[in-house]
């Protein structure tokens, strides 16, 4: 098979690593990829968000399966374009990707189908949103309704912080058009868990659970990021909890889409909070999480490409996934200043030394090649991922590998997986 992988992050490096290992894969292209992805694929200089150019490449090269990693090209209709040309793609069509791309749409759908989530109000003008916040006294969460690179949710301790969030989103336009609407919802409490599943619109196959760390600072302090690390599995996601999420969230969502005339195919990711009243949906994503993909795929022993193809061919019911019983921990190394302004072009040393450790893989995210060496090019630069007999062992392995890698200004959280250990 000829396969095209779309994207350039740590998630795509992990996917490329697993796809290239499949006996089904004869040739793997990546658009645009990164130096890590280039270890496994032929990188082509096409922006992942340039739907026209990606579709043209897939069609002209008769790609057997286009695998879309990030959310933007999914929301932009890349899968629709590929399938309209009679080719196969992995990922939801644009109408299904609205679950992630439009939080207001997702809230309406959950209300209509009694899917457990936080109570919320939706606003499309600054003054009305501000007036509403002024009537509240409790902690709130303010979200840009559109796609905001994982940075559009503001967890506010009081209405004053919520007012600042609404102003930043709707007035200052820090997330651009993603802030045309805001969702203001009650702030829930409890441990979070990421539940991901493959689905072909008929069958749902849940993956191993994970837990992301969104805040930039230790102890979940500071602004939200795209994710500072993750571990898999999450001990709080018991069989009982996962069964409840499947029954009350995943199945109703896929059914609701189908009744609306949309077949949801690809990955359905439910970000859940385990409240005292039961699991509640925080958000939906329509693709692998990043960095959750790294520890999840580190543990996956089955053929990833065969699974993606089964979804595209509506044959997910024939798949059985096998997992490494050992847990995995991923620690993100980020550029100094992230998630604010940060410098680029910093030479990175020590990746090979880190990967010389057993059961360690360094997934490249915000990197590029310049002057014959790998340098930083983004906020989240590397996802250092390790397996271990226990979560504590995996954490120890991951941080030992982190300590072998150096680039100017680089930093990481030092408490990834501490919750699981506790």
CATH number at residue 413: 3.90.600.10
In a domain, residue 228? The reply is yes
Q: Are 310 and 31 contacting, i.e. CB atoms less than 8 angstroms apart?
A: no
The answer to whether the beta carbons of residues 230 and 295 sit under 8 Å apart is yes
How many domains does the structure of the chain reveal?
A: 4
Q: Tell me the per-residue pLDDT of 305-357, one tens digit each, with 9 for 90 and over.
A: 999 999 999 999 999 999 999 999 999 999 999 999 999 999 999 999 999 98
Do 265 and 365 fall into the same domain?
no
Within this chain, do residues 301 and 352 fall inside the same structural domain, yes or no? Answer: no
Range of the domain at 354: 328-421
What's 220's DSSP letter?
Answer: T
- For 369-396, what is the mean pLDDT? 97
Classify 376 as helix, strand or coil. strand
SS3 content of the chain, % helix, strand, coil (to 5): 35, 25, 40
Question: Is 116 inside any structural domain?
Answer: no
Q: What is the pLDDT of residues 177-226, one digit of tens each?
A: 999 999 999 999 999 999 999 999 999 999 999 999 999 999 999 988 99
CATH number at residue 289: 3.30.470.20
Q: Is residue 73 part of a domain?
A: yes
pLDDT, residue 352, reads: 97
User: If we measure between CA atoms, which residue out of 130, 37, 54, 96 comes closest to residue 383?
Assistant: 37
pLDDT tens profile 11-57: 999 999 999 999 999 999 999 999 999 999 999 999 999 999 999 99
pLDDT at 60: 98
Degrees to nearest 5, angle at CA 298 with 295 and 302: 130
Output the pLDDT for position 224. Answer: 87
Q: What percent of the chain has pLDDT over 90?
A: 96
pLDDT, residue 287, reads 97
In the chain, % of residues over pLDDT 70: 100
The pLDDT assigned to 369 comes to 96
pLDDT digit string (tens) for 72-102? 999 999 999 999 999 999 999 999 999 999 9
pLDDT at 279: 97
Q: 187 lies in a domain? A: no
Do 169 and 57 fall into the same domain? no
Residue 250 pLDDT: 98
Predicted confidence (pLDDT) at residue 141 exceeds the cutoff of 80: yes
Instruction: Decide: 395 and 388 in contact? Cβ < 8 Å.
Output: yes
**297 and 204 share a domain?**
yes
pLDDT band at 149 (very low <50, low <70, confident <90, very high): confident
State the CATH number of the domain containing residue 43: 3.40.50.20
| 3-class SS string, 318-346 | HCCCCECCCCEEEEEEECCCCCCCCCCCC
159-166 and 126-134 helices, crossing angle to 10°: 180
Q: Which of 93, 108, 143 is the last residue of a domain?
A: 93
């Amino acid at each position: 098979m000829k396969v095209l992988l779309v994207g350039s992050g740590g998630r795509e490096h992990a996917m490329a690593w697993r796809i290239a290992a499949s006996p089904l894969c004869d040739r793997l292209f990546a658009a645009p990829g990164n130096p890590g992805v280039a270890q496994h694929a032929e990188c082509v200089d096409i922006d992942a968000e340039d739907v026209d150019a990606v579709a043209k490449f897939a069609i002209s090269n008769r790609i057997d399966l286009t695998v879309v990693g990030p959310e933007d090209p999914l929301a932009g209709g890349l899968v629709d374009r590929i399938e309209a040309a009679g080719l196969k793609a992995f990922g939801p069509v644009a109408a299904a990707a609205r679950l992630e791309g439009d939080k207001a749409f997702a809230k309406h759908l959950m209300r209509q189908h009694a899917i457990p989530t936080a109570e919320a109000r939706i606003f499309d003008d600054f003054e009305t949103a501000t007036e509403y916040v002024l009537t509240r006294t409790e902690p709130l969460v303010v979200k840009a309704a559109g796609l905001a690179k994982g940075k559009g949710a503001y967890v506010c301790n009081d209405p004053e912080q919520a007012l600042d969030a609404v102003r930043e989103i709707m007035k200052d336009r820090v997330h651009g058009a993603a802030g045309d609407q805001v969702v203001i919802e009650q702030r829930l409490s409890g441990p979070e868990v990421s539940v991901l599943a493959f689905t072909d619109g008929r069958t749902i196959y849940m993956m191993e659970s994970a837990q992301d760390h969104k805040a930039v600072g230790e102890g979940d302090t500071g602004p939200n990021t795209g994710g500072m690390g993750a571990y898999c599995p999450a001990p709080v996601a018991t069989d009982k909890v996962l069964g409840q999420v499947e029954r009350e969230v995943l199945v109703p969502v896929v059914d609701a889409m189908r009744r609306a005339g949309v077949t949801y195919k690809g990955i359905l990711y439910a970000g859940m909070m385990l409240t005292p009243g039961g699991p509640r949906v925080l958000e939906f994503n329509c693709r692998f999480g990043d960095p959750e993909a790294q520890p999840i795929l580190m543990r996956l022993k089955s053929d990833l490409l065969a699974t993606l193809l089964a979804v595209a061919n509506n044959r997910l019911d024939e798949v059985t996934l096998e997992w490494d019983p050992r847990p995995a921990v991923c620690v993100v190394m980020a550029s100094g200043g992230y998630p604010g302004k940060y410098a680029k072009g910093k030479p990175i040393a020590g990746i090979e030394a880190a990967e010389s450790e057993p059961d360690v893989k360094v997934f490249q995210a915000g990197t590029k090649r310049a002057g014959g060496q790998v340098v930083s090019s983004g906020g989240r630069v590397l996802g250092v991922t390790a397996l271990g007999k226990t979560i504590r062992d995996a954490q120890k392995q991951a941080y030992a590998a982190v300590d072998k890698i150096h680039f100017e200004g680089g930093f990481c959280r030092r408490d990834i997986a501490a919750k699981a250990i506790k």
